[in-house]
């Protein structure tokens, strides 16, 4: 089954057009990129479908976040792109169901009135009960789960000194970069790993996936509409070369840094559901381990692919490839602004177009994220950050209005 899940993502990726992939290898260079995907497996364990995939390995510097205006991705590492593409798909499935009572989805279902309660969540939709969700990644997630691999790859395993964040932030414990201070394990780290890269407050993929074991893989947008109970990953599949058992146990397991979450449940359908980390024999054709002997040097690809059954995009620097920096048409369909716009469209189709504005008293998304409709999700995140993921500092500053 683990190999089948990996194959499902790899086959979907290889069917993408050339513009979504790194340039072909040359005698001088081989461009590599991480790949991640979300796969739904039926109860029969015989049917699989790739619901989303993403490639990429960059994120937005701190000094550009306030200018993003919801139209530029803050983080386009492969795992995060795959998760955003998955949520994009769910929102559009919800939109179809809201548009007509006769419409059906093989991914999302309407919830019965008897299912909805304060304790179990009031969302009108749920992922179907006969689906199980799994993630494949071609590389170990950056951050804590890959520290041993990172140390092993260094010619000199001496931990890099902790560099202070440049003003105006100042240095805060727990905000180590991915390659700083190897001896510090089980802590929150930020992207990017390289010391010469622009500063960001994006947390590592290890940290974000660890948190998803508490919040589910639903985003804040989707959590307004879809109940989280069926939206947890059952497994994370990694190539054998990328799997270090004690690193994954430490980063994600109920006996590692997430031990204080073990057995926890919250109102709204939330609970701690740790995924199993498993392995596959398959390697991605564009992984760094796939470099042919004929190519002299490894280089990172600047193209990020976005794919789900409703969407195909290629991105550069968090925007659509080929669009100018300030062109509003350059916003990806998985950017925050378009995702919130889809939420408003679903609410309008359900006859409550102004629900978010009325509940929050604002048309700004930061107020929506803090409103009472998402209070259960906020409580889960606060709990996990206080007890298991200490040092987590929010990447704020991108506040914008959304109106139909």
Residue with tokens 């010619």: 155
Q: How far apart are CA 256 and CA 267, in angstroms?
A: 24
Neighbours of 293 (CB within 10 A): 5
Taking alpha carbons only, the member of 81, 92, 96 closest to residue 334 is 81
| HSE (side-chain half, CA atoms, 13 Å) at 238 | 21
User: Active-site residue 283, yes or no?
Assistant: no
Residue with tokens 């879809």: 226
Q: How far apart are CA 305 and CA 334, in angstroms?
A: 11
What is residue 170's three-state secondary structure? Answer: coil
Classify the phi-psi angles of 268: left when phi > 0, otherwise alpha if psi is within -120 to 50, otherwise beta. left
Taking alpha carbons only, the member of 26, 105, 28, 64 closest to residue 199 is 64
Selected catalytic residue, list 27, 49, 79, 313 = 79
Taking alpha carbons only, the member of 209, 186, 193, 195 closest to residue 163 is 195
Residues ≥6 apart with Cβ < 8 Å to 97: 103, 104, 105, 108, 110, 125
Helix (H) or strand (E) holding 40: strand 35-42
Exposure letters 161-187 (e unless 16+ CB within 10 A, then b): eeeeeeeeeeeeeebbbbbbbbeeeeb
Separation in Å, CA 42 to CA 47, 107, 228: 5, 11, 18
Q: How far apart are CA 62 and CA 380, in angstroms?
A: 26
Cα-based torsion angle of the residue sequence 351, 356, 359, 360 in order, rounded to the nearest 10 degrees? -160
Q: So which residues are the catalytic ones? A: 79
């Amino acid at each position: 089954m683990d190999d089948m899940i990996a194959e499902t993502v790899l086959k979907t990726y290889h069917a993408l057009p050339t513009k979504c992939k790194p340039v072909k290898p040359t005698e001088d260079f081989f461009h590599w990129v991480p790949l991640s995907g979300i796969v739904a497996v039926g109860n029969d364990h015989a049917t699989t479908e790739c619901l989303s995939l993403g490639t990429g390995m960059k994120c937005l510097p701190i000094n550009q976040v306030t200018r993003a205006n919801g139209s530029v991705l803050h983080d386009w590492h492969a795992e995060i792109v795959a998760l955003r593409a998955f949520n994009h798909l769910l929102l559009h499935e919800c939109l179809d169901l809201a548009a007509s009572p006769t419409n059906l989805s093989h991914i999302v279902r309407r919830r019965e009135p008897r299912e909805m309660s304060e304790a179990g969540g009031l969302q009108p939709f749920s992922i179907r009960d006969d689906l199980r969700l799994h993630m494949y990644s071609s590389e170990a997630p950056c951050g804590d789960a890959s520290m041993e691999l990172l140390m092993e790859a260094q010619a000199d395993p001496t931990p890099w000194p902790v560099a202070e964040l440049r003003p105006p932030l100042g240095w805060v414990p727990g905000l180590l970069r991915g390659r700083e201070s190897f001896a510090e394990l089980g802590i929150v780290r930020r992207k990017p790993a390289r010391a010469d890269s622009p500063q960001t407050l994006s947390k590592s993929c290890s940290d974000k996936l660890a948190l998803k074991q508490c919040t589910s893989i639903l985003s804040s947008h989707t959590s307004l509409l879809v109940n989280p109970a069926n939206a947890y990953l059952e497994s994370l599949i990694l190539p054998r070369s990328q799997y270090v058992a004690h690193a994954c146990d430490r980063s994600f397991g109920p006996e590692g840094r997430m031990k204080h979450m073990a057995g926890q449940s919250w109102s709204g359908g939330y609970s701690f559901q740790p995924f199993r980390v498993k392995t596959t024999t398959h390697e991605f054709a564009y992984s760094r381990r796939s470099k042919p002997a004929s190519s002299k040097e490894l280089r990172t690809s600047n193209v990020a692919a976005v794919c789900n059954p409703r969407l195909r995009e290629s991105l550069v620097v968090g925007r659509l490839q080929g669009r100018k920096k300030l062109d509003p048409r350059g916003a990806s369909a998985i950017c925050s602004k378009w995702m919130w716009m889809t939420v408003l469209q679903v609410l309008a189709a359900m006859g409550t177009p102004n629900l978010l504005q009325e509940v929050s008293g604002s048309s700004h998304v930061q107020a929506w994220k803090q409103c009472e409709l998402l209070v259960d999700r906020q409580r889960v995140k606060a709990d996990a950050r206080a007890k298991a993921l200490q040092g987590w500092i929010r990447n704020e500053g991108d506040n914008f209005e959304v109106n139909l």
